Amino acid sequence: MAQPSEALPLTPDVLPQGLSSFPLPGHFFDMVGFRTDDGVVFAADALVGGATLEKYHVSFVYDVEAYLNSLDSLCAMEAVLFVPSHAEPVTDIVPLAAQNRQKIEELLSLIPTLSHGEPATFEELLCLLFTHYGLEMDFNQYVLVGSTLRSYLAYLLDTGRMTASFSQNRLLWAPAAS
């Protein structure tokens, strides 16, 4: 466990000269990236490398729509080098962003089909998601993937791709009628 430390908000007025920040919402609350004057972009946790995506399949996302918008923002940037926290540095961010977007779209297509059209609880969907990808549940994965699944469910509900209803004091999720 990290020892407690004193932290101050990172605002433009406290950044060193030659360093600027930009918003990268979606992965986590108020996440930002940094750009140096010489064209290096530090993309924080906004992207995951392809091997990690294929191993774990579900990377932590707090807000799906904001995350997709952050991927678009990164693709629109010009830089000499992009440095993601969870992937190798690259000169062209577009292919890596495309891999991340493809995995998001895969999950958005998969989640409504997990229960084969039957209403299911969050816990049932989480179990089916882990089973589908052959993942092993532990407390850390339950929290991380569980939080992410909730984000996907909220997005799917907001976009009309899934419905939510209560039955016998249980919240049930189902694919929206076509």
C-alpha closest to that of 121 among 153, 78, 147, 91: 153
pTM of the model: 0.91
CB-CB contact of 84 with 46 (8 Å): yes
What does the pLDDT read at residue 12? Answer: 80
pLDDT band with cut points at 50, 70 and 90 for residue 72: very high
Task: Please say if the pLDDT value at position 172 is more than 80.
Answer: yes
What does the pLDDT read at residue 13? Answer: 84
What does the pLDDT read at residue 140? Answer: 94
C-alpha closest to that of 56 among 132, 151, 139: 132
Neighbours of 98 (CB within 10 A): 12
Task: Please say if the pLDDT value at position 30 is more than 90.
Answer: no
C-alpha closest to that of 138 among 56, 62, 61, 64: 56
Give the residue-averaged pLDDT of 119-148.
96
Give the residue-averaged pLDDT of 53-73.
96
What does the pLDDT read at residue 6? Answer: 87
Residue predicted with more confidence, 170 or 9: 170
Q: How far is CA 100 from CA 64, 139, 157, in A?
A: 12, 25, 21
Task: Please say if the pLDDT value at position 147 is more than 80.
Answer: yes
Amino acid letter, residue 18: G
The encoded tokens of residue 169 equal: 């004091």
pLDDT band with cut points at 50, 70 and 90 for residue 151: very high
Average pLDDT over the chain, rounded to whole?
95
Give the residue-averaged pLDDT of 59-64.
96
Give the residue-averaged pLDDT of 132-160.
96
Residue identified by tokens 């209560």 is 166
Please write the tens of the pLDDT for every residue from 96-125: 999 999 999 999 999 999 999 999 999 999
pLDDT band with cut points at 50, 70 and 90 for residue 9: confident
User: Distance (Å, rounded) from C-alpha 80 to C-alpha 84?
Assistant: 13
Residue predicted with more confidence, 139 or 6: 139
